[in-house]
């Protein structure tokens, strides 16, 4: 890749990070929690986006960032106080800047309408609208010309005309010039690029050796520069040292004698006397002491991490195989077994450590939500406060990446459908401003993300009505509250009478649910009418390993994800009931659940036909409820490394992935949710189940 | 001919661009992300030929960094160029008061950058 193109990619990546930091700072300012460092960080973010943008010629972006930066500069210097109104404008400016970055990333063509926000920013700063003028003025280039540098060379063509003026320059450095590491020799060299040069060192101020102070300046130079058009060019050459020297430039009139000869001394080889006393060590800068330690990070190609994850996975498998071999050669009592146990323990730690590399705080997704809420609130005319909790909770990067879409949808949903209009809220005795809470926490090896609102809650009568209208349930169905709530996850379900611009773009909660299920997660819903609703997503921390129960069915071995298993039991023959043509029910302490043989379901040869003599494993899936799976035997429980085969075989209903067992055999990992969903449809409808249960009692 | 140059900038984009421009011209580039990091990198690197630093950085800004270097490190006589988007004289003056040798106005093209380096380093 073209290196500049690569840097541009880096720039956009960095912009994403900076925009997040900016957003974070602005939100802290909004809630009045921002300290000066946070305000500074916002300023720096805008500043850096502008700086990089300038380098790539994104002029519109730079123009906007400049106005924004000016405002932020005034805020950080205390000239502009960050009142609620000011922060509101800044937040809008932040959104706009982010649009600008997106537009720049998308390439030319798309323009972002920013004049109103720009105008507001200018009003804040008191800067008159100069019609996008500032950036140009801001980037005055250094115009010194990079040409040959050897003094020996004659860079100017032999003077053909005598029209070019000559200059008399007296240059006497102060000590400060040397202290700042400027070097007269280099200045002279620079001058030599402008024309032909006569230099004479003035050593008259040089004292006796005994009186010489090493860090004082004693030399001066009398210079005649011929054939230089422009006085400005000469001044520019001295740009860095103005104020640290006596400089006198005057045009040399024709026929005037050249610089008056200085005291006849040889033109010395000039070595600038730059020797400094070591500074007093106790004067450490205060900044260093105040600086807090920041976490050191490195950026690593994701492929490398994934390779590591894979290798560790293989290692775990190999260890399992080794341990099995050892069992087989009946060396149970040897000390090798103990060593192997130790190894297993270490491997597990290693695996956790490697997985932790892939984890990131959910913050990166959560931070996009405030803007979403603001926009949705503005479009729906609602007043919304977003509360975010647990944003430091870490979860696998892949999970984070795929969390954005469902979360976006759920947040929009909460604002658009969940919350009432301010008038309705006041009428219901609630504050006009609604609250949407987004939280994340680790719970039992999984991450739970909740989106809750204090809105109207689910109107179950309406949901039921709608579901009947759409033929999703029969009018006579007798559903529990929970079951009604879950109806909103069905494809094609929407309660909004009019499809709104916000939530109803044909993507329903069913898609959210699908997304979450694909991640190996579950989605739940709780709602109290008039008080609000709560959606909770339960997701695995990683997609690379899972704790599974290994079961045998016929000649085959399968893995059931432990997260879905409630219990396993040996059913009594009397607890197993035939139901309907080929359905079977299992009585689990008075509650009937469908019992399905995994062997029959998947067509495994040689599996036990008699369900009553097999082992029943009670599983639960989010949304569709419980059922019992009959297997021949339970082999054990262990952590397995997930090997996806979707890229080779595509999606297979009922099978989530595969893994390699200790004995080297491949075992399929069952997708409980789709198995259960599939079975419940074919075996029995919930209402029928209740009938059956009623008949029994 | 090649010089050892330390660049201090909190922006990855800017660091990459500096590295590209400088190493393309045959210089050896070492980099730091802020003033404190810069100080530490210098402690390990010893004397370098030129230091290029940004002004607005977290933890320790460019002014603080320059003062730190000038206040008696091994690099107290090393030329320091300040990267700035601000063309206001006040910023440049403040950088100079801290001990900066010169400045480069962003955005820079490689020629401008190399020319500025030539102006402060043999």
Convert the pLDDT of each residue in A93-103 to its tens digit.
Answer: 888 888 888 88
Buried b (16+ CB within 10 A) or exposed e, A450-461: bbbbbbbbbebe
pLDDT at A593 over 50: yes
Percent of chain B with pLDDT over 70: 95
The arrangement of strands across the sheet holding A196-202 comes to: A196-202, A220-226, A166-173, A245-252
Q: CA A195, A196, A197 angle in degrees (round to 5)? A: 115
Query: Which residues face B109 on adjacent strands?
Result: none
Provide the 10 A C-beta neighbour count for residue A166. Answer: 19
Asked whether A564 and A627 are in contact (CB, 8 A), the reply is: no
Encode pLDDT of A439-497 as tens digits. 998 876 678 899 999 888 888 888 888 778 877 777 887 777 777 887 787 766 665 54
The CA distance from A290 to A101, in Å, is 34
- For residue B31, pLDDT beyond 80: yes
- Place A623 in a pLDDT band, splitting at 50, 70 and 90: low
pLDDT band at A162 (very low <50, low <70, confident <90, very high): low
Q: What percent of chain A has pLDDT over 90?
A: 3
- Four-residue CA torsion sign, A203, A204, A210, A213: negative
Instruction: State the pLDDT at residue A140.
Output: 38
Tokens (6 digits) for A549: 């129960």
Backbone angles phi, psi at A589, to 5 degrees: 45, 50
Q: How many other CB atoms are found less than 10 A from the CB of residue A571?
A: 19
Q: Which two tokens stand for residue A64?
A: 């906007």
Peptide bond preceding B107 in cis form (omega within 30 of 0): yes
Query: What is the distance between the alpha carbons of residues A568 and A565, in angstroms, rounded to a whole number?
Result: 8
Instruction: Tell me the sheet residues that pair with A202.
Output: A220
Query: Cα(A269)–Cα(A287) distance, rounded to whole angstroms?
Result: 41
Mean pLDDT computed over A631-649:
81
Q: Find residue B32's DSSP bridge partners.
A: B8
Of A48, A55, A182, the CB nearest to B120: A182
Q: Would an 8 Å CB–CB cutoff place B106 in contact with chain A?
A: yes
Res. A681 pLDDT band, cuts 50 70 90: low
Percent of chain A with pLDDT over 70: 80
**Mean of all residue pLDDT scores within chain A:** 76
> How confident is the model over B91-108, as a mean pLDDT?
82
Token look-up 């035939």 returns: A578
Report CB contact under 8 Å: A186, B119. Answer: yes
Q: Is B67 within 8 Å of B99 (Cβ atoms)?
A: yes
For residue A537, the Cα-to-chain-centroid distance in whole angstroms is 20
Chain B touched by A141 (CB under 8 Å): yes
Please identify among residues 50-89 of chain B the ones whose CB lies closer than 8 Å to any CB of chain A: 56-61, 64, 67-68, 70-72, 76-80, 85-87
- Tens-place pLDDT, residues A594-617: 888 888 888 888 777 777 788 999
Task: Please give the span between the terminal C-alpha atoms of chain A, in angstroms, as a whole number.
Answer: 73
Q: Which of A362, A382, A317, A329 is nearest to A544 (CA)?
A: A317
Q: Going by DSSP bridges, is the β-strand pair B28-32/B4-8 parallel, antiparallel, or unpaired? A: parallel
Q: What is the pLDDT of residues A184-220, one digit of tens each?
A: 888 888 888 887 888 888 888 888 887 777 778 888 8
Secondary structure letter of residue A417 according to DSSP: I
Helix (H, G, I), strand (E, B) or coil at A333: coil
Comparing CA positions, the residue from A240, A248, A363, A355 lying closest to residue A309 is: A355
Test A7 with B17 for CB contact under 8 angstroms: yes
Mean pLDDT across A377-399: 86
Contact A139 B106 (CB under 8 A): yes
Interface contact flag, B58 A43, Cβ < 8 Å: no
Angle at A460 between CA A455 and CA A463, to 5 degrees: 105
Question: Are the C-beta atoms of A391 and A427 separated by less than 8 Å?
Answer: no
CA angle A208/A213/A214 to nearest 5° reads 115
* Partner-chain contact B96 A243, CB within 8 Å: yes
Judge contact between A624 and A673, C-beta under 8 A: yes
More confident residue, A353 or A582: A353
Nearest residue in B to A290, CA atom:
B59
Q: Quick check: helix, strand or coil at residue A434?
A: strand
Is residue A592 within a helix (H) or strand (E), and if so which, with residue range? strand A591-597
Give the model's confidence band at A558: pLDDT under 50 very low, under 70 low, under 90 confident, else very high.
Answer: very high
Average the pLDDT over A619-645 and give the result.
80
pLDDT value at residue A145 = 42
Identify the sign of the CA torsion A213, A215, A216, A221: positive
Distances (CA, A) of A171 to A199, A229, A247, B70: 10, 19, 5, 24
Distance, in Å, from the CA atom of A47 to the CA atom of B9, rounded to the nearest integer, reads 12
For A286, the token pair is 């205060």
Residue A368 has pLDDT above 70, yes or no: yes
Q: Judge: A181–B115 Cβ closer than 8 Å, yes or no.
A: no
pLDDT at A266: 45
Using CA atoms of B70, A37, A126, A88 in order, give the dihedral in degrees to the nearest 10. Answer: 160
Q: Which two tokens stand for residue B58?
A: 């977290």
Nearest to A407 by CA among A563, A511, A518, A520: A511
Per-state percent for chain A, helix, strand, coil, to nearest 5: 45, 20, 35
- CA torsion sign for A680, A686, A688, A692 is positive
What is the model's pLDDT at position A446? 74
Chain centroid to CA B57:
12
DSSP chain B: ---EEEEE-S-HHHHHHHHHHHHHTT-EEEEESSHHHHHHHHHHH---SEEEEESS-SSS-HHHHHHHHHTTSTTTTS-EEEEES---HHHHHHHHHHT--EEEESS--HHHHHHHHHHH--
Q: Are B79 and A181 in contact (CB under 8 A)?
A: yes
**Is B3 part of the contact surface with chain A (CB cutoff 8 Å)?**
no
Q: Among A231-235, A345-349, B94-98, B106-110, where is mean pLDDT lowest?
A: B106-110
Residue A498 has pLDDT above 60, yes or no: no
Q: What angle do CA A189, A240, A285 make, to 5 degrees?
A: 130
Minimal Cβ distance to B76: which of A244, A276, A294:
A276
- The pLDDT score that the predictor gives to residue A437 is 92
Yes or no: say if A411 and A438 are a contact pair by the CB < 8 Å rule: yes
* pLDDT(A129) > 60: no
* A554, pLDDT greater than 70: yes
| B54 φψ region: left (φ > 0), alpha (ψ -120 to 50), beta (else) | beta
Cβ(A224)–Cβ(A197) below 8 Å: yes
Residue B1 makes CB contacts below 8 A (sequence gap 6+) with: B26
User: Torsion over CA of B69, B70, B73 and B76, rounded to 10 degrees?
Assistant: 110
Neighbours of B73 (CB within 10 A): 16
Please give the residue of chain A at the shortest CA–CA distance from B61: A287
Question: pLDDT band at A438, cuts 50/70/90?
Answer: very high
Chain B residues whose beta carbon lies within 8 Å of the beta carbon of residue A142 = 104-105, 108, 112, 115-116
Give mean pLDDT, residues A39-47. 85
Residue of B9, B13, B92 to mutate when probing chain A, most A C-beta within 10 A: B13
Q: Per DSSP, what are the bridge partners of residue A395?
A: A360
CA distance A627 to A673: 10
For residue B8, the model assigns a pLDDT of 92
Tell me, yes or no, if the pTM score tops 0.80.
no
Instruction: Round to whole Å and give the CA distance between A476 and A352.
Output: 51
pLDDT at A499 over 70: no
Q: Do B16 and A137 touch (CB under 8 A)?
A: no
Alpha helices in A202-334 (DSSP H): 231-237, 286-290, 302-328
Residue A107, pLDDT > 80, answer no
Residue A305 burial (CB count, 10 A): 15
Confidence of residue A109 (pLDDT cuts 50, 70, 90): low
Phi, psi at B107, each rounded to 5°? -75, 145
Beta-carbon contacts of residue A610 (< 8 Å; ≥ 6 apart):
none
Distance between CA atoms of residues A75 and A502, nearest Å: 34
């Amino acid at each position: 890749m073209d290196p500049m193109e690569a840097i541009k990619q880096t720039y956009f990546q960095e912009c994403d990070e900076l925009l997040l930091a900016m957003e974070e700072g602005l939100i802290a300012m909004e809630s009045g929690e921002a300290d000066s460092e946070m305000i500074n960080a916002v300023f720096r973010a805008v500043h850096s986006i502008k700086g990089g943008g300038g380098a790539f010629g994104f002029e519109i972006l730079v123009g906007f960032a400049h106005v924004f930066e000016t405002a932020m500069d005034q805020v950080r210097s205390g000239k502009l106080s960050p009142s609620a109104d000011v922060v509101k404008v800044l937040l809008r400016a932040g959104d706009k800047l982010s649009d600008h970055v997106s537009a720049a990333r998308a390439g030319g063509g798309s323009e972002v309408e920013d004049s109103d926000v720009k105008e507001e920013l200018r009003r804040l700063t008191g800067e008159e609208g100069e019609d996008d003028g500032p950036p140009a003025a801001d980037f005055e280039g250094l115009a010194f010309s990079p040409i040959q540098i050897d003094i020996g060379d004659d860079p100017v063509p032999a003077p053909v005309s005598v029209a070019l003026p000559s200059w008399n320059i007296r240059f006497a450095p102060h000590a400060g010039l040397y202290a700042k590491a400027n070097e007269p020799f280099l200045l002279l060299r620079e001058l030599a690029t402008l024309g032909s040069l006569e230099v004479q060192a003035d050593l008259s101020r040089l004292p006796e050796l005994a009186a010489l102070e090493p860090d004082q300046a004693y030399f001066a130079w009398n210079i005649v520069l011929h054939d230089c058009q422009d006085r400005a060019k000469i001044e520019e050459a001295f740009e860095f040292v103005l104020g640290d020297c006596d400089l006198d430039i005057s045009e040399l009139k024709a026929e005037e004698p050249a610089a008056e000869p200085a005291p006849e001394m040889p033109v010395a080889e000039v070595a600038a006397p730059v020797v400094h006393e070591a500074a007093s060590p106790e004067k450490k800068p205060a900044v260093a002491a105040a600086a807090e330690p920041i976490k050191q990070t490195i950026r690593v190609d994701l492929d490398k991490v994934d390779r590591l994850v894979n290798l560790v996975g293989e290692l775990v498998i190999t260890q399992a195989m080794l341990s099995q071999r050892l069992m087989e050669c009946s060396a149970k009592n040897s000390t090798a077994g103990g060593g192997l146990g130790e190894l297993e323990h270490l491997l597990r730690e290693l695996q956790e450590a490697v997985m932790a590399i892939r984890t990131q705080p959910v913050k990166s997704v959560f931070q996009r939500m405030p803007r979403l809420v603001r926009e949705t609130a503005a479009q729906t005319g609602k007043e919304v406060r977003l509360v975010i909790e647990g944003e430091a909770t870490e979860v696998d990067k892949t999970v984070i990446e795929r969390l954005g879409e469902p979360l976006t949808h759920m947040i929009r949903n909460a604002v658009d459908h969940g919350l009432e209009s301010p008038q309705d809220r006041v009428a219901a005795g609630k504050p006009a401003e609604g609250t949407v809470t987004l939280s994340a926490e680790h719970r039992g090896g999984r991450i739970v993300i909740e989106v809750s609102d204090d809105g109207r809650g689910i109107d179950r009568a309406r949901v039921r009505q709608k579901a009947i209208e759409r033929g999703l349930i029969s009018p006579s169905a007798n559903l529990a509250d929970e079951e009604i709530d879950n109806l909103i996850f069905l494809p094609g379900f929407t309660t909004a009478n009019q499809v709104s611009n916000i939530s109803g773009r044909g993507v329903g909660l069913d898609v959210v649910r699908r997304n979450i299920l694909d991640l190996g997660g579950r989605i739940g819903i709780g709602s109290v009418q008039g008080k609000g609703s709560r959606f909770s997503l339960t997701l695995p921390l990683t997609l690379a390993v899972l704790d599974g129960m290994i079961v045998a069915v016929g000649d085959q071995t399968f893995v059931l994800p432990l997260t879905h298993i409630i219990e396993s039991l040996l059913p009594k023959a009397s607890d197993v009931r035939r139901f309907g043509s080929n359905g079977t029910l299992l009585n689990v302490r008075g509650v009937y659940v469908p019992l399905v043989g995994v062997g029959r379901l998947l067509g495994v040869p040689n599996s036990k036909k008699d369900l009553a003599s097999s082992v029943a494993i009670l599983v639960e899936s989010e949304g569709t409820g419980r059922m019992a799976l009959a297997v021949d035997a339970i082999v054990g429980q262990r952590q397995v490394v997930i090997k996806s085969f979707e890229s080779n075989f595509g999606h297979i209903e009922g099978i989530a992935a595969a893994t390699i067992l200790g004995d080297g055999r491949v075992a399929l990992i069952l997708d409980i949710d789709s198995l259960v969903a599939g079975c419940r449809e074919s075996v029995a409808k919930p209402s029928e189940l209740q009938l059956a249960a009623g008949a029994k009692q | 001919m090649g010089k050892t140059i330390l660049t201090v900038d909190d922006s990855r984009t800017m660091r990459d661009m500096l590295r590209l421009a400088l190493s393309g011209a045959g210089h050896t580039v070492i980099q730091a992300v802020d003033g404190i990091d810069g100080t530490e990198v210098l402690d390990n690197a010893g004397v370098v030929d030129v230091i290029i630093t940004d002004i607005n950085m977290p933890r320790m800004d460019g002014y603080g960094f320059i003062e730190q270097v000038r206040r008696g490190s091994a690099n107290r006589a090393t030329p320091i160029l300040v990267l700035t988007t601000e063309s206001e004289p006040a910023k440049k003056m403040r950088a100079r008061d801290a001990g900066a040798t010169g400045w480069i106005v962003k955005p820079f093209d490689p020629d401008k950058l190399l020319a500025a380096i030539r102006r402060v380093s043999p």
